[in-house]
């Protein structure tokens, strides 16, 4: 921006200079045309004496020696018939392209090594005998005064445009300094983060940057939690595997006992891996639409449970969406729907409604109604996921983990028309800044 401003001003200066020169030339042409008409009015045919103006030519510069304004009149053969007194001792141009009668010419020529502007007009003059005599009137003016005027204009233009350029550069520099101050602060904050001197970006940013810094903070938090979760998962995994490994080290094991321990280890690995990949609920304000995801799950589950001819009905608006990572949502709903399909007689119903506390998603099945103690056990948040056996709620443990980390409330209950129901209350979206 700072470099562009002088360039722009330079181009402006060139344009103004050209326009000014053009207007000066036009004014000079008009002046010379006026001198021509005054000469035309003053000149008379004096018979054998040729052309004369006597004292009818009022412009004093025509009478002043080398005044800078000259005139001559030439015949069709180029012979000079008259010249102004000011042009005495000067050789005015003899050879030029004679224009047609009544046509005017304006241009530049050299007289005595100096640049001069000329105005030329070819007229037909009627002599005493009524014959038409072609005459060429030429008016010459020194170009020096015009060049001086132009040089003076250029000096003034340079001074003023220079001042404008300086002020502009100063202004742009000030704007850049103030405008980029928050970005410099952001860069400084990021450096501090890199160096480990800070653990998040400050909240003190202009409103235009708050969306960026807010999301960066979410990303940083998410990355930190993810790292922590991986570390914890690895620790938990190692710890949980030790017990079955210790059992397996015992050589006096039957095949069924060995198989039981391997199955336990498989459960532990499955649970911990699925727990580790859940995003931790820190979605960068990107929503996942529910309907397409539920339709994909429906198609999958209809294939998996094809033998039982289950019916899955989805009553959800196309616009219903939740601020949750797609993979987490698939894992959450996949497990709950799979459980519903396993539990149902024939029918699973999925519905959603928007409430003031957030979206409420219900998954109902027409199978056995849950007993009160079963509901109590399902609502028990303290139960460790890796203590479930295969097919005994490992999926539910994953559901519990994701729901807890994403602030989703799980409500298990009975369906009024028979069967069981699980409801998920997704947190209401916080208003954007």
Binding-site ranges for another protein (CB under 8 A) = 262, 266, 270, 274, 277, 296-297, 299-300, 303-304, 306-307, 309, 326-327, 330-331, 333-335
The distance of closest approach from Cβ of residue 252 to another protein in the complex, given in angstroms and rounded to an integer, is 23
| Residues forming beta bridges with residue 109, ordered by sequence position | 116
Residue-wise DSSP of 346-398: SEEEEEEEEETTEEEEEEEESSPPPPHHHHHHHH-TT--GGGS-TTTTHHHHH
Phi, psi of 353 (to 5 degrees): -145, 145
The distance of closest approach from Cβ of residue 222 to another protein in the complex, given in angstroms and rounded to an integer, is 18
Which of 303, 430 has the CB closer to another protein? 303
Which of 205, 388 has the CB closer to another protein? 388
Cβ-contact 88, 154 below 8 angstroms? no
Which of 239, 308 has the CB closer to another protein? 308
The distance of closest approach from Cβ of residue 296 to another protein in the complex, given in angstroms and rounded to an integer, is 5
Distances (CA, A) of 116 to 6, 72, 145, 415: 35, 14, 10, 107
H and E: helices and strands count for the chain: 9, 14
Which of 206, 292 has the CB closer to another protein? 292
Distance CA 158, CA 150 (A): 12
The distance of closest approach from Cβ of residue 330 to another protein in the complex, given in angstroms and rounded to an integer, is 4
The distance of closest approach from Cβ of residue 259 to another protein in the complex, given in angstroms and rounded to an integer, is 8
Which of 84, 283 has the CB closer to another protein? 283
The distance of closest approach from Cβ of residue 204 to another protein in the complex, given in angstroms and rounded to an integer, is 39
Structure tokens at 32: 């010379």
Phi, psi of 187 (to 5 degrees): -60, -40
The distance of closest approach from Cβ of residue 342 to another protein in the complex, given in angstroms and rounded to an integer, is 15
Distances (CA, A) of 176 to 104, 171, 207: 57, 8, 18
Question: Residue 352's closest CA among 360, 340, 341, 342?
Answer: 360
The distance of closest approach from Cβ of residue 306 to another protein in the complex, given in angstroms and rounded to an integer, is 6
Which of 185, 330 has the CB closer to another protein? 330
Cβ-contact 377, 410 below 8 angstroms? no
The distance of closest approach from Cβ of residue 334 to another protein in the complex, given in angstroms and rounded to an integer, is 3
Which of 132, 263 has the CB closer to another protein? 263
Run of H or E including 290: helix 290-304
Which of 145, 327 has the CB closer to another protein? 327
Structure tokens at 77: 């053969």
Structure tokens at 215: 């999301």
Question: Residue 83's closest CA among 39, 19, 129, 141?
Answer: 39
How far from chain centre, in Å, is Cα 329?
33
The distance of closest approach from Cβ of residue 343 to another protein in the complex, given in angstroms and rounded to an integer, is 18
Distances (CA, A) of 268 to 41, 135, 236: 118, 117, 9
The distance of closest approach from Cβ of residue 317 to another protein in the complex, given in angstroms and rounded to an integer, is 22
Which of 180, 304 has the CB closer to another protein? 304
Which of 266, 355 has the CB closer to another protein? 266
Which of 171, 304 has the CB closer to another protein? 304
Distant-in-sequence contacts of 199-206, Cβ < 8 A, 24+ apart: 199/224, 206/182
């Amino acid at each position: 921006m700072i470099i562009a401003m002088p360039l722009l001003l330079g181009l402006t200066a060139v344009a103004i200079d050209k326009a000014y020169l053009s207007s000066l030339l036009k004014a000079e042409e008009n002046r010379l045309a006026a001198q021509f008409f005054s000469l035309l009015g003053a000149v008379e045919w004096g018979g054998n004496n040729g052309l004369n103006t006597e004292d009818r030519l009022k412009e004093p510069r025509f009478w002043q020696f080398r005044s800078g304004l000259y005139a001559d009149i030439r015949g069709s053969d180029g012979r000079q018939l008259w010249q102004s007194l000011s042009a005495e001792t000067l050789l005015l141009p003899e050879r030029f392209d004679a224009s047609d009668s009544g046509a005017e010419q304006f241009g530049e020529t050299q007289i005595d090594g100096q640049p001069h502007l000329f105005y030329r007009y070819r007229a037909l003059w009627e002599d005493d005998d009524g014959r038409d005599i072609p005459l060429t009137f030429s008016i010459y003016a020194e170009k020096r005064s015009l060049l001086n005027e132009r040089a003076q204009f250029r000096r003034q233009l340079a001074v003023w445009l220079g001042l404008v350029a300086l002020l502009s550069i100063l202004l742009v520099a000030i704007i850049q300094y103030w405008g980029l101050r928050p970005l410099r602060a952001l860069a400084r904050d990021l450096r501090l983060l890199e160096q480990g001197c800070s653990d998040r970006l400050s909240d003190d940013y202009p409103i235009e940057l708050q969306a960026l810094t807010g999301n960066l903070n979410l990303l940083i938090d998410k990355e930190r939690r993810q790292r922590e979760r991986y570390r914890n998962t690895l620790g938990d995994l190692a710890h949980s595997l030790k017990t079955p490994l210790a059992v397996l080290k015992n050589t006096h094991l039957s095949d069924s006992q060995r198989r039981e321990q391997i199955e336990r280890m498989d459960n532990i690995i499955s649970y911990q891996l699925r727990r580790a990949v859940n995003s931790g609920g820190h979605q960068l304000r990107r929503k996942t639409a529910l309907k397409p995801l539920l339709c994909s799950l429906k198609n999958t589950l209809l294939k998996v449970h094809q033998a039982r001819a289950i019916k899955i009905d989805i009553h959800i608006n196309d616009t219903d969406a939740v601020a949750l990572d797609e993979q987490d949502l698939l894992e959450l709903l996949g497990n709950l729907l799979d459980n519903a399909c396993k539990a149902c007689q024939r029918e699973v119903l999925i519905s959603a409604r928007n409430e003031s506390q957030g979206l409420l998603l219900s998954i109902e099945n027409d199978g056995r109604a849950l007993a009160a103690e079963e509901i109590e056990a399902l609502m028990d948040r303290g139960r460790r996921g890796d203590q479930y056996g295969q097919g005994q709620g490992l999926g539910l443990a994953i559901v519990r983990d994701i729901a807890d980390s994403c602030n989703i409330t799980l409500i298990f209950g009975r369906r009024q028309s028979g069967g069981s129901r699980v409801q998920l209350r997704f947190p209401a979206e916080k208003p954007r800044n």
